[in-house]
Amino acid sequence: MKTYTYTEKKDTRSGFGAGLAELGRTNPNVVALCADLIGSLKMEKFIEENPERFFQIGIAEANMMGIAAGLTIGGKIPFTGTFANFSTGRVYDQIRQSIAYSGKNVKICASHAGLTLGEDGATHQILEDIGLMKMLPGMTVINTCDYNQTKAATIAIADYEGPVYLRFGRPTVPVFTPADQTFEIGKAIKLTEGTDVTIVATGHLVWEALEASKMLFEKGISAEVINIHTIKPLDETAILESVAKTGSIVTAEEHNIIGGLGESVARVLALHKPMPQEFVGTNDTFGESGTPAQLMEKYGLNAASIVLKAESVIKRK
Amino acid sequence: MPSTQYLNDLTIQVRRDILRMVHKVNSGHPGGSLGCTEFLVALYNVIMTRKEGFNMDGIGEDLFFLSNGHISPVFYSVLARAGYFPVEELSTFRLIDSRLQGHPTTHEGLPGVRIASGSLGQGMSVAIGAAQAKKLNGDKHLVYSLHGDGELQEGQNWEAIMYASAKKVDNLISVVDLNGQQIDGSTDHVLPMGSIKQKFEAFGWTVVEIEEGNNIVSILEGMSEAKSKTGQGKPVCVLLKTVMGHGVDFMMYTHAWHGKAPNDEQLAVGLSQNPETLGDY
């Protein structure tokens, strides 16, 4: 079985900052907007190198989304930066009307998504953003798993014409994807080959899925792990090819199971190949204060939970 | 520049378009549309520098954003009669498969529309973004936006108003249609807003008032003054005092016709008060 290792842990938001800085050097149409969270979004380098292409909006996210939509009229490619909660739930109608329905080329870049924001608690830990964004017609939804993938995704979405929601997080997590891996929107990445169960994971849960696959291997269970960084458009082919082999599937995400990746996968299976599925995610609940590790443990978003779900889904075959 | 006679004729023709459009589908918003007819006729035919054809980027020309999207009938009529799309297409307003949706959208590819609007309070932010893009592009042309007075009750406007002055967006002219009416009654009845002029001034804007917002000559004078005040470090607000339902006597001075279409009889009266000038669609 293929195993993955890492030499350092980094935050995915720093991958965004690095990608944005690179875009600042390579694409003169890229502009950045922030609602008073420059440091949290790691946007300093872009701002330092391109002060005229940065717009500090202040604590006014609705205005930021509208200004971003307006900047596209004139050929700019705006990247907005704030926390995931304020990037989506707070400004849903602005995104819906001024960006998605208007077909504007805005890149909504959202940090501090999910429970791993930690101690700030439920007001800031959005677990519904993937659902909100994937429901918008024409919106591409991406949730990256580590520093390298976030950097690559940030660069890739500048070349894609259309609105994109790019979701990443606050804590440091293992860097295990290759630094030179090209990011292809909508193209899943198979991380391990397996025959007993497919584990489809996104964001911070991808590493946990790899850890789970090792634990399962020791129990004699062969798991195929797929990194599904793009939730919409979903790589249906990759999922269906995998489950044709394994006959069961576990989805894993740092998000409510209602409205998340798991439901998108379930739809694909219901249409093409109904089979047992188990869901790793929060279950219709808000988060709370705590360390990221404590929260992921309490809400069942770690390797151990994935192992349990894998074992139970296999029994349902 | 077109003659005042032509502009007056066009105004009357646009009023006829508005009445016929909303009557046909028994829905839509004639009140605010009629109140802003002179303004949009003047804007598109005299005030703005426009290029031939339509390019979404709008580089090298003035831009307009309609924030109070429900007055789509007047917007569509003025766009069509300015040559953006065939006048005959006005007959498809609000019908299935039409590019002329109930509220304006880019989604159906209607030339002349650069943003969807309808959910209120979003247009000024978009206009600011477009104005800042013009500055980045070294494009000296202006950006105009139109807002209802009731619309100012949406909080996003005040985020935008604060931002525009703080960031010296001085290539923007935001026009507020001060008709004093909204769906549930007068603005003073629903949510008194005090002095909108003082509010914009307190937020650091230059304010120009047009007392006769249904008089083409007054509009041209006022907008000329507004243009002369751009480029001086402050965004410019124009307070356009209009009468909702202007030009159709039974629709004037009331909120009743905000979102209600005339019946056959009322249509006939309205049209008789606005005899055909340039030809119906």
* Residue B82 buriedness (CB in 10 A; 0-12 / 13-18 / 19+): middle
A35 plus A141 within the same structural domain:
yes
Inside any domain, residue A183: no
In the predicted structure, residue B63 carries a pLDDT above the cut 90: yes
Of A53, A70, A103, the CB nearest to B126: A70
Domain that holds residue A252: 189-315
Q: Which two tokens stand for residue A96?
A: 């819906």
A31 plus A147 within the same structural domain:
yes
Name the domain boundary from A174, A207, A235: A174
Q: Which two tokens stand for residue B112?
A: 């002349």
A43 plus A77 within the same structural domain:
yes
| CATH code of residue A273 | 3.40.50.920
Domain that holds residue B212: 4-272
**Number of domains into which chain B is organized:** 1
Mean pLDDT of the region B130-157 = 98
Provide the shortest C-alpha distance from residue B49 to chain A (in Å).
16
Active-site hit among A61, A208, A224, A253? A61
Residues of A with CB under 8 A from a CB of B: 31, 52-53, 55, 57-58, 60, 62-76, 78, 93-94, 96-98, 101-104
Interatomic CA distance for residues B203 and B227, integer angstroms: 19
Looking at the DSSP assignment, which residues form a beta bridge with residue A164? A107, A140
What mean pLDDT value characterizes chain B?
97
pLDDT 10s digits, B248-260: 999 999 999 999 9
Q: What is the pLDDT of residue A170?
A: 97
User: What single string gives the DSSP state of each residue in A44-69?
Assistant: HHHHHH-GGGEEE--S-HHHHHHHHH
User: What single string gives the DSSP state of each residue in A264-282?
Assistant: HHHHHHHHH----EEEEEE
Nearest CA in chain A to B161: A63
Inside any domain, residue A36: yes
Q: What is the pLDDT of residue A312?
A: 98
A224 plus A160 within the same structural domain:
no
**Number of domains into which chain A is organized:** 2
**Of all residues in chain A, what percent carry a pLDDT higher than 70?**
100
Interatomic CA distance for residues A10 and A186, integer angstroms: 24
Please, which pLDDT band fits residue B214 given cuts at 50, 70 and 90? Answer: very high
pLDDT 10s digits, A244-269: 999 999 999 999 999 999 999 999 99
Inside any domain, residue A181: no
A150 plus A47 within the same structural domain:
yes
Q: Which two tokens stand for residue B52?
A: 């031939």
pLDDT 10s digits, A2-52: 999 999 999 999 999 999 999 999 999 999 999 999 999 999 999 999 999
Inside any domain, residue B278: no
B136 interface with A at CB cutoff 8 Å: yes
For residue B116, the SS3 value is coil
Residues of A in Cβ contact (< 8 Å) with B112: none
Q: What is the pLDDT of residue B162?
A: 98
Inside any domain, residue A90: yes
Residues of B in Cβ contact (< 8 Å) with A91: none
Residue located via tokens 């001060």: B178
| CATH code of residue B261 | 3.40.50.970
Q: How far is CA A35 from CA A55, A211, B97, B167, in A?
A: 9, 36, 39, 14
Mean pLDDT of the region B67-81 = 98
Inside any domain, residue B279: no
Q: What is the pLDDT of residue A195?
A: 98
Please, which pLDDT band fits residue A1 given cuts at 50, 70 and 90? Answer: confident
Give the side-chain half-sphere CA count within 13 A for B19.
29
Inside any domain, residue B15: yes
| CATH code of residue A136 | 3.40.50.970
In the predicted structure, residue A243 carries a pLDDT above the cut 90: yes
User: What single string gives the DSSP state of each residue in A69-100?
Assistant: HHHHTTT-EEEEEEEHHHHTGGGHHHIIIIII
Of B57, B115, B124, the CB nearest to A74: B57
CB-CB under 8 Å, A70 with B107:
no
Nearest CA in chain A to B133: A71
Please, which pLDDT band fits residue B1 given cuts at 50, 70 and 90? Answer: confident
Residues of A in Cβ contact (< 8 Å) with B61: none
pLDDT 10s digits, B79-117: 999 999 999 999 999 999 999 999 999 999 999 999 999
b vs e for A131-148, b when ≥16 Cβ sit within 10 Å of the residue's Cβ?
Answer: bbbbebeebbbbbbbbbb
A136 plus A277 within the same structural domain:
no
Please, which pLDDT band fits residue B44 given cuts at 50, 70 and 90? Answer: very high
Q: What is the pLDDT of residue A43?
A: 98
In terms of DSSP H, where are the helices of A126-235? 129-134, 147-158, 205-218
Inside any domain, residue B280: no
Interatomic CA distance for residues A8 and A232, integer angstroms: 29
**Of all residues in chain B, what percent carry a pLDDT higher than 70?**
100
A50 plus A199 within the same structural domain:
no
**Of all residues in chain A, what percent carry a pLDDT higher than 90?**
100
A98 plus A209 within the same structural domain:
no
- Is residue A241 part of the annotated active site? The answer reads no
pLDDT 10s digits, A267-299: 999 999 999 999 999 999 999 999 999 999 999
Inside any domain, residue A38: yes
Residues of A in Cβ contact (< 8 Å) with B62: none
pLDDT 10s digits, B174-212: 999 999 999 999 999 999 999 999 999 999 999 999 999
User: What single string gives the DSSP state of each residue in A103-141?
Assistant: T---EEEEES-SGGG-TT-TTT--SSHHHHHHTSTT-EE
In the predicted structure, residue A102 carries a pLDDT above the cut 90: yes
Name the domain boundary from A106, A141, A174: A174
Interatomic CA distance for residues A296 and B10, integer angstroms: 66
Q: What is the pLDDT of residue A7?
A: 94
A166 plus A244 within the same structural domain:
no
A114 plus A213 within the same structural domain:
no
Inside any domain, residue A182: no
In the predicted structure, residue B20 carries a pLDDT above the cut 90: yes
Please, which pLDDT band fits residue B238 given cuts at 50, 70 and 90? Answer: very high
A199 plus A63 within the same structural domain:
no
A216 plus A131 within the same structural domain:
no
